[in-house]
Amino acid sequence: MDKMYLSQSVMLGVTFFALSSGGNMLAFIDIPALVIVFVFALLFSIADTKSIKTRVRNFSDVAVLGGWVGALIGAICYSIVWIRRI
C-alpha cells in the first residue's frame, strides 16, 4: 500500500515539475478537451441508477472514451488545417 502512495506522489511530482518548467501553465490546459471529457463522464455516471461504485467505474470508463473522442476531434482539426496549407 505504501508503494502505491509513493508511486502516485512521484508521478504527481514529475507532472508538476514538467508543468512548472514549461513556462506557461495555460499552455497545458485545454478547456474544450476538458469539457468533452468531464461532461461526457459526468452525464454518463449520473444516468446510472446503481451503486456509487458502479457510477465511479462508469465515470472513469467514459472519461477515457471522452479522451479518445477529444483526440480524434483534435486530429481531424489539425488535418484540416494541414490540408488547407497545401
At 28-64, the pLDDT tens digits run 777 887 888 888 888 888 887 778 888 888 888 888 9
**Domain boundaries, given as residue ranges, for the chain:** 2-85
Q: What does the pLDDT read at residue 59? A: 87
Q: What is the mean pLDDT of the chain?
A: 83
Q: What is the pTM of this model?
A: 0.61
Q: What does the pLDDT read at residue 1? A: 66
Q: Do 63 and 38 touch, CB atoms closer than 8 A?
A: yes
Question: Which 3 state secondary structure label does DSSP give 48?
Answer: coil
Cβ neighbors of 39 (< 8 A, separation 6 or more) are: 66
Q: What does the pLDDT read at residue 52? A: 85
Cβ count within 10 A of residue 19: 14
